[in-house]
Amino acid sequence: MQVTDKNFLVTGSSRGIGKGCALELARAGANIAINYRSSPDDAEQVAEEIRQLGRKALVLHGDVAEQEQVEELVRKTAEGFGRLDGFVSNAAYSDRELMVHADMAGFRRTVDVSMWGAFFGVRASAKQMIQQGGGGAIVVVSSPHAVIPIPTAMAYNMAKAAIDHMARTAAIELAKHRIRVNIVHPGWIDTPGERKFFTEEQLEQGAAGIPWGRMGKPEEIGKLVTFVMSSDCDYMTGSTLLMDGGISLPWWSKREEGQQ
Protein backbone atom coordinates (compact mmCIF):
# COMPACT_ATOMS: atom_id res chain seq x y z
CA MET A 1 0.00 0.00 0.00
CA GLN A 2 1.47 3.29 -1.16
CA VAL A 3 2.08 5.42 1.95
CA THR A 4 5.88 5.22 1.97
CA ASP A 5 7.50 8.45 3.20
CA LYS A 6 4.09 10.10 3.67
CA ASN A 7 3.46 12.14 6.82
CA PHE A 8 0.30 11.56 8.84
CA LEU A 9 -1.29 12.95 11.99
CA VAL A 10 -3.48 10.53 13.99
CA THR A 11 -5.51 11.95 16.88
CA GLY A 12 -6.01 9.92 20.01
CA SER A 13 -3.20 7.59 18.98
CA SER A 14 -1.56 6.77 22.31
CA ARG A 15 -3.71 3.63 22.63
CA GLY A 16 -6.65 1.72 21.21
CA ILE A 17 -7.75 2.17 17.60
CA GLY A 18 -5.61 5.27 17.16
CA LYS A 19 -2.52 3.34 18.21
CA GLY A 20 -3.46 0.54 15.80
CA CYS A 21 -3.76 3.07 12.97
CA ALA A 22 -0.46 4.77 13.82
CA LEU A 23 1.50 1.51 13.94
CA GLU A 24 0.01 0.02 10.78
CA LEU A 25 0.63 3.22 8.83
CA ALA A 26 4.23 3.20 10.08
CA ARG A 27 4.65 -0.45 9.09
CA ALA A 28 3.56 0.56 5.60
CA GLY A 29 6.28 3.21 5.50
CA ALA A 30 4.72 6.42 6.85
CA ASN A 31 5.95 8.92 9.43
CA ILE A 32 3.44 9.53 12.22
CA ALA A 33 2.53 12.39 14.55
CA ILE A 34 1.01 10.82 17.66
CA ASN A 35 -1.53 12.89 19.53
CA TYR A 36 -2.51 12.31 23.15
CA ARG A 37 -4.38 14.24 25.83
CA SER A 38 -3.79 12.34 29.08
CA SER A 39 -1.45 9.39 28.38
CA PRO A 40 2.06 10.76 27.70
CA ASP A 41 3.86 7.53 28.61
CA ASP A 42 1.66 5.50 26.27
CA ALA A 43 2.26 8.02 23.49
CA GLU A 44 6.03 7.83 23.95
CA GLN A 45 5.86 4.05 23.81
CA VAL A 46 3.98 4.18 20.49
CA ALA A 47 6.56 6.64 19.19
CA GLU A 48 9.38 4.28 20.16
CA GLU A 49 7.69 1.38 18.37
CA ILE A 50 7.39 3.54 15.24
CA ARG A 51 11.05 4.54 15.40
CA GLN A 52 12.05 0.90 15.75
CA LEU A 53 10.28 0.35 12.44
CA GLY A 54 12.66 2.88 10.90
CA ARG A 55 10.09 5.66 10.62
CA LYS A 56 9.91 9.14 12.15
CA ALA A 57 7.54 9.92 15.02
CA LEU A 58 6.39 13.09 16.74
CA VAL A 59 4.56 13.12 20.08
CA LEU A 60 2.07 15.98 20.38
CA HIS A 61 -0.12 16.85 23.33
CA GLY A 62 -3.50 18.40 22.59
CA ASP A 63 -7.20 18.31 23.43
CA VAL A 64 -9.12 17.94 20.17
CA ALA A 65 -12.14 19.65 21.72
CA GLU A 66 -10.15 22.90 21.58
CA GLN A 67 -9.91 24.39 18.08
CA GLU A 68 -6.67 26.28 18.66
CA GLN A 69 -4.98 23.16 20.01
CA VAL A 70 -6.05 21.13 16.98
CA GLU A 71 -4.72 23.79 14.63
CA GLU A 72 -1.45 23.70 16.57
CA LEU A 73 -1.27 19.90 16.16
CA VAL A 74 -1.55 20.29 12.40
CA ARG A 75 0.99 23.11 12.32
CA LYS A 76 3.53 21.17 14.39
CA THR A 77 3.09 18.07 12.23
CA ALA A 78 3.66 20.01 9.02
CA GLU A 79 6.67 21.81 10.49
CA GLY A 80 8.15 18.68 12.03
CA PHE A 81 7.91 16.56 8.89
CA GLY A 82 8.04 19.26 6.23
CA ARG A 83 4.44 18.69 5.09
CA LEU A 84 1.18 16.95 6.01
CA ASP A 85 -0.05 14.23 3.64
CA GLY A 86 -2.86 12.73 5.65
CA PHE A 87 -5.03 13.08 8.74
CA VAL A 88 -6.84 10.40 10.74
CA SER A 89 -9.59 11.76 12.98
CA ASN A 90 -9.82 9.12 15.68
CA ALA A 91 -10.02 10.78 19.11
CA ALA A 92 -13.39 10.28 20.81
CA TYR A 93 -15.08 10.39 24.19
CA SER A 94 -18.24 8.78 25.48
CA ASP A 95 -20.29 8.35 28.65
CA ARG A 96 -23.08 5.81 28.97
CA GLU A 97 -26.29 7.05 30.55
CA LEU A 98 -29.95 7.22 29.63
CA MET A 99 -30.81 10.59 28.15
CA VAL A 100 -33.15 11.59 30.97
CA HIS A 101 -30.46 10.92 33.59
CA ALA A 102 -27.44 12.14 31.63
CA ASP A 103 -24.91 14.39 33.29
CA MET A 104 -24.84 17.31 30.88
CA ALA A 105 -21.15 18.01 31.40
CA GLY A 106 -20.34 14.50 30.16
CA PHE A 107 -22.93 14.80 27.39
CA ARG A 108 -21.33 18.03 26.13
CA ARG A 109 -17.83 16.61 26.49
CA THR A 110 -18.83 13.69 24.28
CA VAL A 111 -20.11 16.03 21.57
CA ASP A 112 -17.18 18.43 21.94
CA VAL A 113 -14.56 15.69 21.47
CA SER A 114 -16.33 13.30 19.13
CA MET A 115 -18.03 15.83 16.84
CA TRP A 116 -16.31 19.21 17.14
CA GLY A 117 -12.91 17.57 17.54
CA ALA A 118 -13.37 15.71 14.26
CA PHE A 119 -14.51 18.89 12.49
CA PHE A 120 -11.61 20.96 13.82
CA GLY A 121 -9.17 18.31 12.62
CA VAL A 122 -10.67 17.88 9.17
CA ARG A 123 -10.82 21.66 8.68
CA ALA A 124 -7.28 22.38 9.88
CA SER A 125 -5.68 19.50 7.99
CA ALA A 126 -7.55 20.38 4.78
CA LYS A 127 -6.39 24.01 5.03
CA GLN A 128 -2.81 22.81 5.44
CA MET A 129 -3.06 20.48 2.45
CA ILE A 130 -4.57 23.23 0.28
CA GLN A 131 -1.78 25.59 1.34
CA GLN A 132 0.74 22.94 0.22
CA GLY A 133 -0.84 22.86 -3.24
CA GLY A 134 -3.50 20.21 -2.75
CA GLY A 135 -3.50 16.45 -2.59
CA GLY A 136 -3.84 14.32 0.51
CA ALA A 137 -6.14 11.94 2.34
CA ILE A 138 -8.38 12.19 5.39
CA VAL A 139 -10.04 9.33 7.23
CA VAL A 140 -12.74 9.96 9.81
CA VAL A 141 -13.07 7.09 12.27
CA SER A 142 -16.79 7.00 13.01
CA SER A 143 -18.95 4.13 14.27
CA PRO A 144 -22.05 2.02 13.63
CA HIS A 145 -23.49 4.27 16.37
CA ALA A 146 -23.99 6.75 13.52
CA VAL A 147 -26.85 4.62 12.18
CA ILE A 148 -27.85 2.39 15.13
CA PRO A 149 -29.64 4.24 17.97
CA ILE A 150 -27.93 2.36 20.79
CA PRO A 151 -29.55 3.25 24.13
CA THR A 152 -27.51 5.01 26.86
CA ALA A 153 -25.26 6.48 24.14
CA MET A 154 -27.32 9.34 22.74
CA ALA A 155 -24.54 11.95 22.72
CA TYR A 156 -22.13 9.54 21.04
CA ASN A 157 -24.79 8.45 18.53
CA MET A 158 -25.49 12.10 17.68
CA ALA A 159 -21.82 12.96 17.30
CA LYS A 160 -21.02 10.01 15.05
CA ALA A 161 -24.05 10.63 12.83
CA ALA A 162 -22.96 14.26 12.49
CA ILE A 163 -19.36 13.50 11.53
CA ASP A 164 -20.47 11.02 8.87
CA HIS A 165 -22.39 13.77 7.09
CA MET A 166 -19.58 16.22 7.77
CA ALA A 167 -17.06 13.91 6.11
CA ARG A 168 -19.21 13.36 3.03
CA THR A 169 -19.71 17.11 2.68
CA ALA A 170 -15.98 17.67 3.06
CA ALA A 171 -15.36 15.06 0.35
CA ILE A 172 -17.45 17.11 -2.08
CA GLU A 173 -15.88 20.43 -1.12
CA LEU A 174 -12.30 19.14 -1.22
CA ALA A 175 -12.45 17.04 -4.39
CA LYS A 176 -11.26 19.97 -6.52
CA HIS A 177 -8.15 20.09 -4.33
CA ARG A 178 -7.61 16.34 -4.81
CA ILE A 179 -8.04 15.74 -1.09
CA ARG A 180 -9.89 12.51 -0.44
CA VAL A 181 -12.16 12.14 2.61
CA ASN A 182 -13.49 8.75 3.68
CA ILE A 183 -15.20 7.22 6.70
CA VAL A 184 -14.41 4.01 8.60
CA HIS A 185 -16.93 2.33 10.91
CA PRO A 186 -15.21 -0.03 13.36
CA GLY A 187 -17.41 -2.45 15.25
CA TRP A 188 -16.81 -3.60 18.82
CA ILE A 189 -13.02 -3.38 19.11
CA ASP A 190 -10.95 -4.72 22.00
CA THR A 191 -9.47 -1.50 23.37
CA PRO A 192 -8.68 -0.11 26.85
CA GLY A 193 -11.61 2.27 26.44
CA GLU A 194 -14.11 -0.59 26.53
CA ARG A 195 -13.02 -1.34 30.12
CA LYS A 196 -14.69 1.93 31.08
CA PHE A 197 -18.07 0.33 30.44
CA PHE A 198 -17.63 -3.45 30.78
CA THR A 199 -15.89 -6.08 32.90
CA GLU A 200 -13.70 -8.70 31.26
CA GLU A 201 -16.47 -11.25 31.75
CA GLN A 202 -19.01 -8.99 30.08
CA LEU A 203 -16.64 -8.38 27.15
CA GLU A 204 -16.10 -12.11 26.72
CA GLN A 205 -19.82 -12.86 26.82
CA GLY A 206 -20.65 -10.00 24.48
CA ALA A 207 -17.98 -10.99 21.98
CA ALA A 208 -19.39 -14.51 21.78
CA GLY A 209 -22.67 -13.07 20.52
CA ILE A 210 -21.11 -11.19 17.61
CA PRO A 211 -21.69 -13.06 14.32
CA TRP A 212 -17.93 -13.45 13.82
CA GLY A 213 -17.60 -14.71 17.38
CA ARG A 214 -15.02 -12.24 18.68
CA MET A 215 -14.20 -8.58 19.18
CA GLY A 216 -12.12 -6.78 16.58
CA LYS A 217 -8.49 -5.83 17.04
CA PRO A 218 -7.08 -2.29 16.75
CA GLU A 219 -4.51 -3.44 14.20
CA GLU A 220 -7.30 -4.72 11.94
CA ILE A 221 -8.83 -1.25 11.84
CA GLY A 222 -5.32 0.12 11.32
CA LYS A 223 -4.82 -2.04 8.25
CA LEU A 224 -8.12 -0.85 6.79
CA VAL A 225 -7.26 2.80 7.47
CA THR A 226 -3.84 2.30 5.87
CA PHE A 227 -5.48 0.90 2.74
CA VAL A 228 -7.93 3.81 2.54
CA MET A 229 -5.16 6.37 3.09
CA SER A 230 -2.93 4.85 0.42
CA SER A 231 -2.69 6.03 -3.18
CA ASP A 232 -4.10 2.64 -4.17
CA CYS A 233 -7.46 4.18 -3.20
CA ASP A 234 -7.02 7.31 -5.31
CA TYR A 235 -10.51 6.92 -6.81
CA MET A 236 -12.24 6.55 -3.43
CA THR A 237 -13.72 9.58 -1.71
CA GLY A 238 -16.90 10.10 0.29
CA SER A 239 -17.13 6.38 1.02
CA THR A 240 -18.04 4.60 4.27
CA LEU A 241 -16.25 1.33 5.01
CA LEU A 242 -17.56 -1.02 7.70
CA MET A 243 -15.40 -3.51 9.61
CA ASP A 244 -17.49 -4.90 12.46
CA GLY A 245 -17.61 -8.70 12.34
CA GLY A 246 -21.23 -8.50 11.18
CA ILE A 247 -22.52 -6.71 14.27
CA SER A 248 -24.54 -4.27 12.13
CA LEU A 249 -26.37 -7.06 10.31
CA PRO A 250 -29.97 -7.99 11.26
CA TRP A 251 -28.96 -11.17 13.04
CA TRP A 252 -30.10 -13.43 15.86
CA SER A 253 -27.55 -14.09 18.55
CA LYS A 254 -25.86 -17.49 18.44
CA ARG A 255 -27.64 -18.43 21.62
CA GLU A 256 -31.03 -17.65 20.07
CA GLU A 257 -30.13 -19.56 16.91
CA GLY A 258 -29.32 -22.62 18.99
CA GLN A 259 -32.76 -22.51 20.56
CA GLN A 260 -34.58 -22.58 17.23
In this prediction, residue 137 carries a pLDDT of: 98
Look over the chain and give the mean of its residue pLDDT values, rounded to a whole number.
94
Helix H or strand E segment including 202: helix 200-208
- 156 classed as catalytic: yes
pTM (2 d.p.): 0.93
**Which residue is catalytic, options 143, 176, 217, 230?**
143
Q: Strands of 7-10's sheet, edge to edge?
A: 57-61, 31-36, 7-10, 86-89, 136-141, 179-186, 240-243
Q: Which residue in 45, 49, 60 sits closest to 8, CA to CA?
A: 60
Q: Is residue 79 part of a domain?
A: yes
Q: Is residue 1 part of a domain?
A: no
Q: Is residue 184 part of a domain?
A: yes
How far is the C-alpha of 151 from the C-alpha of 129, rounded, in Å? 38
- 89 classed as catalytic: no
How far is the C-alpha of 258 from the C-alpha of 260, rounded, in Å? 6
Low-confidence ranges of the chain (pLDDT < 50): 252-255, 258-260
In this prediction, residue 199 carries a pLDDT of: 82
- Phi, psi of 150, rounded to the nearest 5 degrees: -70, 125
In total, how many domains does the chain have?
1
Q: Is residue 21 part of a domain?
A: yes
Per-residue model confidence as pLDDT tens digits over 31-43: 999 999 999 999 9
Residue span of the structural domain in which 229 resides: 7-259
Rg (CA), the chain: 18
Which SS3 state, helix, strand or coil, does residue 137 take? strand
Q: Is residue 2 part of a domain?
A: no
Which SS3 state, helix, strand or coil, does residue 10 take? strand
**Which residue is catalytic, options 142, 160, 223, 230?**
160
Q: Is residue 85 part of a domain?
A: yes
Q: Is residue 121 part of a domain?
A: yes
- 176 classed as catalytic: no
**Which residue is catalytic, options 94, 114, 125, 156?**
156
CB 30 within 8 A of CB 222: no
How far is the C-alpha of 4 from the C-alpha of 53, rounded, in Å? 12
In this prediction, residue 201 carries a pLDDT of: 85
In this prediction, residue 257 carries a pLDDT of: 52
Q: Is residue 25 part of a domain?
A: yes
CATH number at residue 92: 3.40.50.720
In this prediction, residue 188 carries a pLDDT of: 86
